[in-house]
Structure 1
Amino acid sequence: MSARPRLLYVSDLLYPARGRRYGDEDMALTAALRDEFAVALCPPGDAAALLDGFDAVVVRNSGPVLHHRDAYDAYRSRAVELGVPVYNPLTGRGDMAGKGYLTELTAAGLPVIPTAAGPEDLGALPDSAWYAVKPVAGADSIGLEFRPAERLGEVAWDGVLVQPRIDFRYEVSFVFVDDAFQYAVYAPDPERRWELEPYRASAADVEFARRFVAWNTLEHGVQRVDACRTRDGRLLLVELEDLNPYLSLDRVDPAVRERFTAALKGSLHRYLGR
């Protein structure tokens, strides 16, 4: 390795994300990383061709994989071929592998929005007037639709999951680096889910989120545990984002951002054996 490890940082700076500025977050993060790493930034479509000569690939705000599936598969395969570590590591069991894990967590009795992967699972779901139908390979609410209970029989069950529509008070996201909790943000108004504010997480909240981080068994990486607070006060997992979670760093205090950045640098150094 060179004196400063060389990172190929994968991001789609211009992706039109609702309520989020991928470019701003990644420009700020790469600027901070350059204190200790040599960083080159590229979009997903260029990653496979540029991998040779880098010590690691850092996948950040690269956009929904369904928009660049071929490029995603190509740089994953090329990284394995060259022995270049990918961060987050490619062994994630959460959204990195599709949303099928939600049925596994449901079957295990974990606090997750109950999820069915086929008509045989519907009996295990609570009764609801409306149900969400979402693609297993979905992201960013792409392909999500809501159906009334009487139309569930029309679901084709071809690569989709079904969940009851949950009446919740708010959504909250917990950000971890490796297994260390960093901060949480939430949307106080469910109708304005991208208007986020810092959230003061209780010890019980953090333990709820840590349970899913532990289940995922990633020793290194950035993970965002998204949950909703139900009307009766429970937290239920919405998704475990372990591929390229947006971090909402512009919504937290400067001291929190600095602590997160320091944790990210430390995690990358450990991952690279430094």
Structure 2
Amino acid sequence: MSPTAVLVSCAELPSGDGDDDVLLPALSSLGFSVSWAPWDSSFDFASADAVILRATWDYASRRSEFLSWCSSVPSLFNSGDVVRWNTDKSYLVELSDAGVAVVPTSLVPPGSEPAFPSSEFVVKPSVGAGSRGAARFAGGSDASEHVAALHTEGHTALIQPYQSSVDASGELALVYVGGIYSHAFTKGAMLGSTMDPSGLYLTEKLAPASPPADAVALAEDVLDAASALLGILRAELLYARVDLVRGVDGKPLLLELELTEPSLGFRQADPEAPVRFASAVRQQLA
């Protein structure tokens, strides 16, 4: 009997945004019976051999419900424990404390008073997806109103100095499957982009990329540190996307580590990338 793999989406995008379309034939070629299903549907996820989070982009407004669902799924990739840790961007502070080069990050929970940088900065919710709720401010601005709005919605605010390199070169995303590097792509600056018709994420300008050595070295450090914090092996992460930017000194910095439902840029990758992903799914089941 063929193993079953379910790519998990949301009601607004039941078959994802198209980037993962190549995974269906890749998984089928390696013996899987594969289908899509929204996470909050009546699908029997417990019956599947592999339940793979791919486009659950409505989770931010329903995080408690989503985490409860994740905990109920036996064969979820990435695991529920990983999802719980990764869906709150306070993990950036943990990685920084572990010695990883991270974009300087401060957290302002409800009831706390913010301190704003003297240079350009960004304020966003610590729990969020698709850059919703993120705003950019000029140096010296008082963003208390935006922080208060996030607090009113129950969010912890996250404040970071804006990295001007994003305006010229965007972000560099390095994709790993089964803990091993697969491919990379660039993402244009998202702040100021238009919202997708689904209302779940901002549109991005993507392009294939060959990551320089210092970016790869940092991405490796990020995955090692995250795995140590989570108490798992890197190989236990079916997928990971490491988003990097350049700091004012030109050195790479971690902007985000996406372990829950990131777009993996298959349309910007080489033709073998979907098969690498499918092979990594088989590895997880073994």
- TM-score, normalised to structure 1, is 0.81
| 1:32 partnered with 2:26 | yes
Q: CA deviation at 1:120?
A: 8.3
List structure 1 segments (4+ residues) > 6 angstroms apart after TM superposition: 188-193
- Match in the other structure for 1:237: 254
1:167 to 160, 164, 181: 164
1:9 to 7, 10, 20: 7
Alignment of 1:19-168 (within 5 A): 22-35=16-29, 36-46=31-41, 49-69=43-63, 72-79=66-73, 84-92=74-82, 96-118=86-108, 122=115, 127-148=117-138, 149-152=140-143, 155-156=147-148, 158-168=155-165
Secondary structure of the equivalent of 1:92? helix
Structure 2 unaligned regions, length at least 5: 194-202, 228-233
**8 Å CA contact 1:94, 1:216 repeated in 2:** no
**8 Å CA contact 1:93, 1:216 repeated in 2:** no
Relative to structure 1, the CA distance from residue 97 to residue 24 in structure 2 (aligned partners, 3 Å threshold; closer, same or farther) is closer
**8 Å CA contact 2:114, 2:144 repeated in 1:** no
Distance 2:84 2:64 in 1: 20
Distance 1:71 1:93 in 2: 13
Relative to structure 1, the CA distance from residue 132 to residue 95 in structure 2 (aligned partners, 3 Å threshold; closer, same or farther) is farther
Q: CA deviation at 1:227?
A: 0.9
The residue type paired with residue 243 of structure 2 is D
Distance 1:107 1:246 in 2: 27
The residue type paired with residue 243 of structure 1 is T
The residue type paired with residue 204 of structure 1 is D
Identity of aligned residues (%): 27
The residue type paired with residue 279 of structure 2 is G
Secondary structure of the equivalent of 2:51? strand
Secondary structure of the equivalent of 2:237? coil
Distance 1:134 1:39 in 2: 36
- TM-score, normalised to structure 2, is 0.77
Q: What RMSD, in angstroms, separates the aligned Cα atoms of the two structures?
A: 2.9
- Match in the other structure for 2:181: 181
Structure 1 unaligned regions, length at least 5: none
1:257 to 271, 276, 281: 271
**8 Å CA contact 1:14, 1:23 repeated in 2:** no
Distance 2:223 2:215 in 1: 13
